[in-house]
């Protein structure tokens, strides 16, 4: 792979001009333009949107559903995008709201964990691999911090949203986004410390049990 990445998400000429073209076709909401727009937007950004949602909800299938929801909402909200250059941040804003809505809903609707025997075969390799990814201290610590803080950290550190883009995606002011990020780092630091302490305690217990 060439080291010089032509990552489409970072070459916004495609999005921007397509959007401009869409505007030219219709000054108002144009389904054709909206559909074509979302099609290109999906091609460029669905991977990162899925990754963001996956890390927010920690469930692959749910993340796929939410990604789908996000792009449908983008299609419906096409005419609300004022600046084509901001398409990526705008999409993240939609995905962020979708994620928060889902997390809020899950707090209200509590699912009873499945405790019976597995109906099928053992978990798939893909499922195991996903679980493995989530097994680290960091993932667990991330899961412990407040959703908005988690979102701010993920968007900033993993998805390269900064400044006004980050604020737009989070739906807050620039100052608020900074404050959120600052608090998030403190929360993550504390959660990581606690996770590692818990790991150390568990390891110590295991060793003692083995010795007995």
Partner 1 sequence: MTMFRRRRPDDWASEHERAGVLSALDLVERLPSSDAAWLSDHLLDCSTCRELAAAYAADRLLLRSLRDTAPEPPRDLWARTAAAIEQEAGGADRAWRLPRIGRVPLGAASGLLVVAVVVGVTLFGKTPPETAVVATAPPVTPGPDATPGSTPLAIPPNQVAWVQKNDLGTYDLFVVGFDAVCSVDAGAECAPIDSSAGKSVELSRAPGSVVLSPTAPQIVVVDVAASTTGGSVFIVPVPTPQPSFDPSATPSPTPIATPDPTPPPDPTPTPQPTPPPSNEPSASPTGSPDATPDVTPAPTPIPIADGAVAIISDVIVVGDPAYSRDGTWFAFSARPADGSAGPDIYVWQAGNELARPVTFDGRSVFTGWIDDLVLGSRAVPIGVTIIDLGPTPSPTAPPPVVTASPPPTPSPATGPGSSSSPDPGLSPAATIFDGVAFVLDPATGASVDLVGSSWRPVVDPSGRFVVSWEGALLVDGTGVGWGLGEGRLVLDAWIAPERPQPPIDPDASPSPDTGSPAPTSSAPAPTAPASVEPSSSLDPSASPSPVVLRTVLADGPVVDFDARWDPTGTRLAVWIADPADPKIGSLRLFVVDPDTGVLSASEDRLDGAPALRGFSLERGRLAWITPPGQDGEGSRLHVVAWTLDRFGTIESRPGSELIVLQ
Using CB under 8 A as the binding rule, whether residue 201 contacts partner 1 is answered as no
Using CB under 8 A as the binding rule, whether residue 38 contacts partner 1 is answered as yes
User: Candidates 50-58, 96-104, 114-122, 198-206 — which segment interacts with partner 1 by CB under 8 A?
Assistant: 50-58
Is the Cβ–Cβ distance between 82 and 57 less than 8 Å? no
Q: Measured from the CB of residue 112, what is the shortest distance to partner 1 in angstroms?
A: 26
Name every residue whose Cβ is closer than 8 Å to that of residue 163 and which is 6 or more positions away in sequence: 174
Is 106 or 189 the residue whose CB approaches partner 1 more closely?
Answer: 189
Token pair 């608090």 in the structure block, residue: 183
Out of 96, 156, 169, 195, point to the residue binding partner 1 (CB under 8 A). Answer: 156
Distances 131 to 40, 68, 88, 141 between C-alpha atoms, Å: 31, 22, 29, 15
Question: How many other CB atoms sit within 10 Å of the CB of residue 52?
Answer: 26
Compute the chain's Rg from CA coordinates: 20
Structure tokens at 194: 């606690």
Q: Cα(134)–Cα(128) distance, rounded to whole angstroms? A: 10
Distances 95 to 27, 53, 77 between C-alpha atoms, Å: 25, 7, 12
Is the Cβ–Cβ distance between 132 and 65 less than 8 Å? no
Out of 68, 77, 172, 176, point to the residue binding partner 1 (CB under 8 A). Answer: 68
Using CB under 8 A as the binding rule, whether residue 2 contacts partner 1 is answered as yes
Out of 62, 77, 103, 130, point to the residue binding partner 1 (CB under 8 A). Answer: 130
Q: Measured from the CB of residue 113, what is the shortest distance to partner 1 in angstroms?
A: 23
Out of 50, 99, 155, 169, point to the residue binding partner 1 (CB under 8 A). Answer: 50
Is 51 or 172 the residue whose CB approaches partner 1 more closely?
Answer: 51
Residues near partner 1 (CB under 8 A) are 2-8, 10-14, 16-18, 21, 30-36, 38-40, 42-44, 46-48, 50-51, 54-55, 60, 63-64, 67-68, 71-72, 75-76, 85, 88, 130, 133, 138-139, 153, 156-158, 160, 162-165, 178, 181-183, 185-186, 188-189, 192
């Amino acid at each position: 792979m060439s080291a010089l990445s032509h990552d489409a998400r970072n070459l916004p000429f495609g999005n921007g001009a397509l959007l401009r073209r869409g505007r030219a076709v219709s000054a108002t909401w144009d389904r054709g333009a909206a559909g074509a727009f979302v099609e290109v937007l999906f091609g460029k950004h669905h991977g990162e949107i899925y990754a963001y949602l996956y890390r927010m909800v920690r469930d692959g299938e749910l993340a796929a559903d939410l990604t789908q929801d996000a792009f449908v909402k983008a299609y419906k909200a096409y005419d609300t995008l004022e600046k084509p250059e901001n398409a990526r941040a705008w999409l993240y804003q939609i995905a962020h709201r979708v994620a928060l809505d889902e997390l809020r809903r899950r707090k209200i609707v509590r699912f009873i964990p499945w405790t019976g025997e597995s109906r099928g075969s053992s978990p798939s390799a893909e499922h195991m691999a996903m679980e493995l990814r989530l097994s680290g201290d960091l993932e667990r610590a991330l899961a412990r911090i407040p959703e908005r803080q988690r979102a701010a950290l993920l968007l900033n550190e993993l998805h390269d949203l900064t400044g006004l883009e980050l604020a737009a995606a989070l739906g807050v002011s620039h100052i608020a986004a900074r404050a959120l990020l600052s608090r998030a780092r403190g929360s993550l630091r504390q959660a990581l410390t606690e996770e590692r302490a818990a790991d150390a305690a568990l390891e110590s217990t295991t060793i003692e049990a083995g010795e007995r």
